[in-house]
Amino acid sequence: MIEFQAVTKRFDDGTVAVDELNLTVDPGRITVFVGPSGCGKTTSLRMINRMIDATSGAILVDGKDVRQSDPPLLRRGIGYVIQQAGLFPHRTVLDNVATVPVLAGWSRAKARKRAAELLETVGLPATMAGRYPAQLSGGQQQRVGVARALAVDPPVLLMDEPFSAVDPVVREDLQNELLRLQGELDKTIVFVTHDIDEAIKLGDKVAVFRTGGILAQYDKPSELLARPADDFVSNFVGRDRGYRALGFLTASGLTVGEIASVQLGDTAGDARRKLSDGWIVVVDERRHPCGWLSADRLSGVDENATVDADLVMSGGSLYDTEHGSLRSALDSALSSPSAHGVAVNGGGELVGSITADEVLRALAAARTSGEVPQ
């Protein structure tokens, strides 16, 4: 779909930003370019839509050398999302999204109709359509940026650190949203980031660059973590790579244990009687966990007092038995105040408990069965 053939970029001042890059981006997949600052990620990305022209080598999109296309026309067929969104301040949200269809010659009415659909696709309420960019939060602006890039349904999407200017919570939302969208749209996405966690989370394949614009390794995220090509890559993927690699192991072999629970509204006496190892999980009427009670917490509370939200201690992360990885199972155990991770089913209902020991046992089993490389 996108092919770099011995691509080199040397800027006028002599800086070699990209050095003999050979790389094939798989169609319909997310490919992430990651690496330290100044390693040539942006330059590589911008050569695809000719925002920068390569010094030598060739870039093919769908088998055609990009240099054969007129840059504005080429760019209209490739979605482009940048860090600060780069929305047009003088245009409403709706007209920002309608920009490319209008450039492509659609009638304004048709372009706006398409834009309204896209706002919904990226999860923005229709009431935002008439706002101006200055009236949006950073995360909302970024969503508009994505909608604008998708407007004429281009097969290729280039994204340059699109989520790095928003806070971690919003960033995670946007990442999940991108994965959801990609599940529906199957675009060929090239995504630039300097955050290895983001790369591993989003990438079907990850290209790690080193300073000087040299490709250090190009692999699936699990491979990158399990078999870094050299010291640079292993340092770059970081000290936690063993822990992160757990994220790629399904927790299917894991045994979920019994767990004691009371419902909000039950009495403190009930809770006290059912304590197991001094702890008990509190669930709401839908059986969704809402936290823990301990013997300490209950001491001195009247026998007939009801268990309410004020009494409950907040819990750790939840482990989803249907979609969760070993990493999330381990994290649920480590983050729980009782040392028992809380396991829920796909619908969020309490199903049992998980201990760190159990996770390590499952890991050992996966090792012997060959699922984990030695």
Ligand X SMILES: Nc1ncnc2c1ncn2[C@@H]1O[C@H](COP(=O)(O)OP(=O)(O)OP(=O)(O)O)[C@@H](O)[C@H]1O
Regarding 100 and contact with other proteins (CB under 8 A), the answer is yes
Which does residue 49 touch among Mg ion, other proteins, ligand X, none (CB within 5 to 8 A, set by kind)? other proteins
- C-alpha 79/C-alpha 148 separation (Å) is 8
Q: Which is nearer to Mg ion, 52 or 260 (CB)?
A: 52
Q: Which stretch binds Mg ion (CB under 5 A): 42-50, 55-63, 220-228, 281-289?
A: 42-50
Shortest CB 301 distance to ligand X, Å: 54
Q: Which is nearer to other proteins, 75 or 205 (CB)?
A: 75
Residues 160-219 that bind ligand X (CB under 6 A): 194
- C-alpha 341/C-alpha 325 separation (Å) is 13
Asked if 203 contacts 8 with a C-beta cutoff of 8 angstroms, the reply is no
Which of residues 41, 112, 187, 210 is near ligand X by CB under 6 A?
41
- Ordered strands of the 214-219 beta sheet: 78-81, 156-160, 188-193, 30-34, 205-210, 214-219
Q: Which is nearer to other proteins, 160 or 320 (CB)?
A: 160
Regarding 84 and contact with ligand X (CB under 6 A), the answer is no
Regarding 193 and contact with Mg ion (CB under 5 A), the answer is no
Beta strands in 188-267 (DSSP E): 188-193, 205-210, 214-219, 261-263
Angstrom distances, CA of residue 23 to CA of 33, 55, 99, 154: 11, 17, 32, 21
Residues 53-92 that bind other proteins (CB under 8 A): 72-77, 80, 82-92
Asked if 94 contacts 130 with a C-beta cutoff of 8 angstroms, the reply is yes
- C-alpha 141/C-alpha 93 separation (Å) is 9
> To which residue do tokens 């281009």 refer?
154
Regarding 53 and contact with ligand X (CB under 6 A), the answer is no
Task: For the chain, give the number of residues.
Answer: 374
Shortest CB 225 distance to ligand X, Å: 21
Residues at the contact surface with other proteins, assessed by CB under 8 A: 49, 51, 72-77, 80, 82-92, 99-100, 103, 132-134, 148-149
Residues at the contact surface with ligand X, assessed by CB under 6 A: 11, 13, 15, 17, 35, 37-43, 194
